[in-house]
Amino acid sequence: MKVLIVDDQTLVLLSLKKWLTDLGYEVQTASNVVDAITEYDKFLPNLVITDMNMPIMDDSNYSYNQDAFIEDAPGLEIVKHIKKENNDNIPVMFLSGNTTEDIISRGFELGAVDYMKKPVSLSEIGARVKRLIGAAKIYNTNAVIDLNNNRYIQKGCVGIVIPCYNEEKRLLGEEFKTFVRKNLGYHICFVNDGSKDNTLEVLHELRKGHEDYISIYNCEKNGGKAEAVRLGMLHLAAQNEYDYIGFLDADLSTDFDDFQDLTTTIFTTNFQIVSGSRMSRMGANITKESARAIISKTINFIIRKTLGMEINDTQCGAKIMTKEIIERTFQDKFLTKWLFDVEIFMRMKKVYGSKKAQELICEQPLKRWIHADGSKLSMKDSVKIVGQIFQIAIHYR
């Protein structure tokens, strides 16, 4: 049994191809409409699984004739080619994040037989494929098929930058591997910030077996967290694969569940940056952490006055944003090593104006946030931060 998968996101194609191949199907892939039609005519599949929104062809300069292609959902052209032009009765299944009723209805009118909304588990996809074209003999006898361990194709693809400096003994490697195994729309890019211990070796070991979902960007010299994040974000933004790109601290003081909540928000709204906020968690342990909470809120008050924007927590270390924000605010090195989050907002204010910048920013309270061991700033660091805030204020005035 042969299956053609069409999607413009590499992580989707890699994950779904491996899953269906391990289940015993012969699989080919395509990433745009023209290649899909060519591959269909050559491969003659028993089933086509296709996204609705994708490039017409692999050429960003290609200007298509609106009369020749369906502009708002080019993937429907594949169904039209199969059903109308070839008069073929093979089943076509949509796998898409597109929820527009009119487009979905047009797809069924053209002859599609099934629709799956991303995110969706590989197990469900496998079950639907089996229902449509039957089971296949498992050719890959070495594959481990766990139908109860759901892994999910996400709505889109997200890159996550993790800055690392001397994380050899602190890095939660298993948590990172578990996350990318389960959530197939995410790619983690570890940035080794000139570590003096064996962090780089630890990262290479962590990456083994997950090369499609984990990468390493190595900085030979330590440039501080700001520079590590900046270089990592620019590195991922230069690739066409990702819809959005964000960053997290290596200690996972903000965990993946909360980051996925930030991701859901940016996918479903018009915000260009969604930033985690810890302020609602500051009072959760007020008797033990009251001094730290007071210092944090005092620093935040100074930052708000400096920014001229009501942002409750700039220093969370968990943010996700569009490539446009990265292109407009990450090109030049940041002035400070710690307060680059503040500088991002200052640069947005300069580019868009204060009112528009505030409209593009969503500050989302975190449900779960902890101080990981060794992550707290000392009193000396807090004094330095105040000095750096005034440095930022003068520089960006």
Q: Please report the domains of the chain, with CATH numbers, ordered by start residue.
A: 2-133 (3.40.50.2300)
The DSSP bridge pattern shows strands 244-247 and 214-219 to be: unpaired
Find the DSSP H helices in 270-314: 279-282, 286-307
pLDDT of residue 216: 98
Average pLDDT over residues 24-33: 95
pLDDT of residue 139: 56
> Checking phi first, is residue 28 left (phi over 0); if not, alpha (psi -120 to 50) or beta?
beta
- Confidence (pTM): 0.82
Average pLDDT in the chain: 86
Asked whether 311 and 304 are in contact (CB, 8 A), the reply is: yes
- 3-class DSSP assignment, residue 240: coil
Q: Longest C-alpha distance within the chain, in Å? A: 74
Burial of 220 (0-12, 13-18, 19+ CB in 10 A): exposed
Q: Could you tell me how many residues make up the chain?
A: 397
Q: What is the pLDDT of residues 314-337, one digit of tens each?
A: 777 899 999 999 999 999 999 988
Asked whether 371 and 321 are in contact (CB, 8 A), the reply is: no
